[in-house]
Structure 1
Amino acid sequence: MKSLDIGALAARTGLPPSALRYYEEIGLIASEGRHGLRRQYGPEALLRLSLVALGKSAGFSLADIAGMIGKDGRPDIPRGELRARADDLDRQIRDLAALRDTLRHVADCRAPSHLECPTFRRLLRLASLRGARRQAAAKRDLGPATGR
């Protein structure tokens, strides 16, 4: 594949040219040069932008992603961080599934008042416990250096 100018790369990726220029500035992609005033990018830019999109979808910051891609273009992906992020996603999926089930129950419950429904009351208690556990874990993760 031949080089793409910044407009063509923007069209292929759905990213605005300003984002592409910023990504180049922070080292996520590199241009091969210019054709007139327009930056030119090689085919590897598409691959790198796909890695950036995947990393962002997984919740990594651009700085994290830049560290994973590396200056030489070779990915240096910390597998432990990926596993930890996958574990976080599993927890989010469980929490969202519980929330979905609660909402469906509330929508379908035949009790005159949701507060009279024993299932709804149990779901509320479980939600409170999950919230308390999340807060405790967040405090533990912040550690004593934050003063919290």
Structure 2
Amino acid sequence: MKEMDISEVARRSGLPASTLRYYEEKGLISSVGRRGLSCVFRADILQRLSLIALGQSAELSLGDLAAMLDAEGQPDIDRQRLNQKADELDRTIERLTATRDELRRVACCPAVRHIECSTFQKLLNAIGKEDTKRKSGKGKLRRRGV
């Protein structure tokens, strides 16, 4: 199987070498050796990087992705985790859609000043309640990433 050094992988994947080294440090990818000072990867690294990019586009953490990729580069996909993530995305889409709709209603408000607009006041109250709930620990604050 053909091998590529880190600079070729970076060029072909569009990822900086520093990201590739970080992924290797986190166990997402692995090199097969060194050629001088450069790490060398198997050619199928590009497919693995595509799987990582797909997972990231679904907002999976690097930890989730590492758990779903075995050492040989084959996906060992946790279907339950994917369904959970899809449910989370549905909730996010629903929340963002509602926010977008409210912003459009406020933008069309005939009031001279938005602070006088009843729709804008409802939006402010809803945001205030959500913020209070989050600060009191009733809402979920989640850190993205590993």
TM-score, length-scaled by structure 2: 0.76
Deviation sequence 1:2-39 (CA, Å, 0-9, x none): 32211011112222212212322332112233333322
Match of 2:42 in 1: 42
Root-mean-square deviation (CA), in Å? 2.7
Match of 1:79 in 2: 79
Match of 2:138 in 1: 136
Match of 2:96 in 1: 96
Structure 1 counterpart SS, 2:76: coil
Q: Distance in 1 between matches of 2:22 and 2:68?
A: 17
Letter of the 1:45 partner, please give it: I
Structure 2, unaligned stretches of length 5 or more?
Answer: none
Higher helix fraction: Structure 1 or Structure 2? 1
**Range with greater deviation from structure 2 (111-120 or 66-75):** 111-120
RCO (CA 8 Å, sep 6+): is it higher in 1 or 2? 2
Q: Distance in 2 between matches of 1:87 and 1:131?
A: 22
Aligned pairs for 1:51-66 within 5 A:
51-66=51-66
Structure 1, unaligned stretches of length 5 or more?
Answer: 142-148
Letter of the 2:67 partner, please give it: G
What is the aligned-residue identity percentage? 49
- Total equivalences in the alignment: 140
